[in-house]
Amino acid sequence: MTKQLQARRLNGIDHNPWVEFVKLASEADVVNLGQGFPDFAPPDFAVEAFQHAVSGDFMLNQYTKAFGYPPLTKILASFFGKLLGQDMDPLKNVLVTVGAYGALFTAFQALVDEGDEVIIIEPFFDCYEPMTLMAGGRPVFVSLKLSPNQDRELDSSSNWQLDPTELASKFTSRTKALILNTPNNPLGKVFSRAELELVASLCQQHDVVCITDEVYQWLVYDGCQHVSIATLPGMWERTLTIGSAGKTFSATGWKVGWVLGPESLLKHLRTVHQNSIFHCPTQAQAAVAQSFEREQLHFGQPSSYFVQLPQAIQRCRDHMIQSLKSVGLRPVIPQGSYFLITDISEFKSKMPNLPGAADEPYDRRFVKWMIKNKGLMAIPVSIFYSVPHQKLFDHYIRFCFMKDESTLQAMDKKLQKWKDDLRP
């Protein structure tokens, strides 16, 4: 081939940082607090639902409706219809996708054209940028910035904020979409109603679509409230709300996600869907439908998984925060999600020259050092920043606390040894 073999849409998006770090984690004897998935089982009712789906009606082994297994789209429309305050039609306002990842891809492909601008708030779940690029779009970044606590208390993710003037300046006549992630990965920030109103008013003013990634919507702590921007006035008609069964039911391996939104937008996502994967696996959808049916019955009650899970995970969060503090790491207390980030500036000043490639950001070298020498794995937060900003945000690492007690105890052992090593 004289000209380039691969399509130009792949330019600049072939590298994936996860591949390297996932490989590293599998190699050494490490406590894996890196990649975001639970290491405990989904709730019994979800496991039973999947078992039921795979051993019941054998026709569930065949194709279902392209845009979603009917009992699933029905329950999603009813469940989220209530939450979003909309009368949702399962055929018009719901699309089932292969994970929330698939939902994001479908949304970008459906709406982003060559030269369209997409506003991405940093730090961002890393796929938003390459997905924008693959659609020919131009990512426009705006960073959450820390307004640190004045006392010596740990910062909260709520201290990370957008500057309204700066955000407003990012909107141009070419802005097609803004991608919002709340609760945010990696920070754990839960956008407040006021912050969402700011985003909403700009989206409306500039006639921009809001793609909102709400996969961690149930994982909010300390009484924090998750607010869906689609519920704000004027927003339903311009918002695509993305959710994930994997994060909702602690079953990331099922790869079932969905997009909720107005027919005028969803019809374009359906076109992409029918020309990319066409159908999603039936049985996993059946399991998710049954799981939501169960949650609908228990909604708001102590027996609801959506009540119990954040309570349990908050304890994991708090355990991890205390443990990390003991070795001089400074975690940022997340309001939601299953991640927290930790400031490693002290380590950066004490050991600035860790092995790594020429201009490899410090946090990546630190993580590799930590994996090799301390048996702990985390993810460098610079992965969640645009290339020009990586050097500015190279002093944070992200830990996942969606882990079993035994994993956290294994973490404590490693941290204790680390602490011992630090003693003179």
Partner 1 sequence: MFNSDISIYLLPLKFFLLSCSMFLARARLCTLGSRPKFLKTICASKILGLSTSAKMSLKFKNAKRIEGLDSNVWIEFTKLAADPSVVNLGQGLPDISPPVYVKEELSKIAAIDSLNQYTRGFGHPSLVKALSCLYEKFYQNQINPNKEILVTVGAYGSLFNAIQGLIDEGDEVIVIVPFYDCYEPMVRMAGAIPVFIPLRSKLVDGKKWSSSDWTLDPQELASKFNSKTKAIILNTPHNPLGKVYTKEELQVIADLCIKYDTLCISDEVYEWLVYTGNKHFKIATFPGMWERTITIGSAGKTFSVTGWKLGWSIGPKHLIKHLQTVQQNTVYTCATPLQEALAQALWIDIKRMDDPECYFNSLPKELEVKRNRMVHLLESVGLKPIVPDGGYFIIADVSLLDTDLSDMKNSNEPYDYKFVKWMTKNKKLSAIPVSAFCNAETKLQFEKFVRFCFIKKDSTLDAAEEIIKAWSRQKF
Of 194-213, binders to partner 1 (CB under 8 A) are: 204-205, 207-209
* Smallest separation (angstroms) from partner 1 to the CB of 232: 7
| SS3 at position 148 | coil
Q: What is the CA radius of gyration of the chain?
A: 21
Q: Pull the structure tokens for residue 279.
A: 């159908």
Kindly state whether residue 114 participates in binding partner 1, applying the rule CB under 8 A.
yes
* Smallest separation (angstroms) from partner 1 to the CB of 359: 23
Kindly state whether residue 404 participates in binding partner 1, applying the rule CB under 8 A.
no
| CB nearer to partner 1: pick between 317 and 403 | 403
Q: Pull the structure tokens for residue 319.
A: 């355990």
Q: Where does 206-334 have alpha helices with state H?
A: 245-248, 263-274, 282-298, 305-325
Q: Pull the structure tokens for residue 423.
A: 């003693």
Piece in contact with partner 1 (CB under 8 A), picked from 140-148, 234-242, 306-314, 388-396: 234-242
Kindly state whether residue 111 participates in binding partner 1, applying the rule CB under 8 A.
yes
Q: Pull the structure tokens for residue 293.
A: 């049916």
Kindly state whether residue 112 participates in binding partner 1, applying the rule CB under 8 A.
yes
**C-beta of residue 278 within 8 angstroms of C-beta of residue 66:** yes
| CB nearer to partner 1: pick between 259 and 332 | 259
Piece in contact with partner 1 (CB under 8 A), picked from 183-191, 230-238, 366-374, 392-400: 230-238
Piece in contact with partner 1 (CB under 8 A), picked from 248-256, 347-355, 388-396, 407-415: 248-256
Kindly state whether residue 379 participates in binding partner 1, applying the rule CB under 8 A.
no
Question: Which residue type does 197 have?
Answer: E
Q: Where does 85-232 have alpha helices with state H?
A: 99-111, 128-134, 164-170, 193-205
| CB nearer to partner 1: pick between 216 and 418 | 216
Question: Which residue type does 112 have?
Answer: V
| CB nearer to partner 1: pick between 114 and 151 | 114
* Smallest separation (angstroms) from partner 1 to the CB of 314: 21
**C-beta of residue 183 within 8 angstroms of C-beta of residue 335:** yes
For the chain, the helix, strand and coil percentages under 3-state DSSP, each to the nearest 5: 45, 15, 40
3-state SS, 315-366, equals HHHHHHHHHHHCCCCEECECCECCEEEEECHHHHHHCCCCCCCCCCCHHHHH
Kindly state whether residue 37 participates in binding partner 1, applying the rule CB under 8 A.
yes
Residues 267-296 that bind partner 1 (CB under 8 A): 267-268, 270-272, 274-284
| CB nearer to partner 1: pick between 287 and 354 | 287
Give the C-alpha separation, 283 to 267, whole Å.
25
Piece in contact with partner 1 (CB under 8 A), picked from 10-18, 147-155, 216-224, 344-352: 10-18
When binding is defined by CB under 8 A, the residue of 20, 27, 63, 303 that contacts partner 1 is 63
Residues 148-187 that bind partner 1 (CB under 8 A): 176
DSSP label at residue 231:
G
Kindly state whether residue 73 participates in binding partner 1, applying the rule CB under 8 A.
no
When binding is defined by CB under 8 A, the residue of 59, 194, 357, 358 that contacts partner 1 is 59
* Smallest separation (angstroms) from partner 1 to the CB of 159: 26
**C-beta of residue 292 within 8 angstroms of C-beta of residue 139:** no
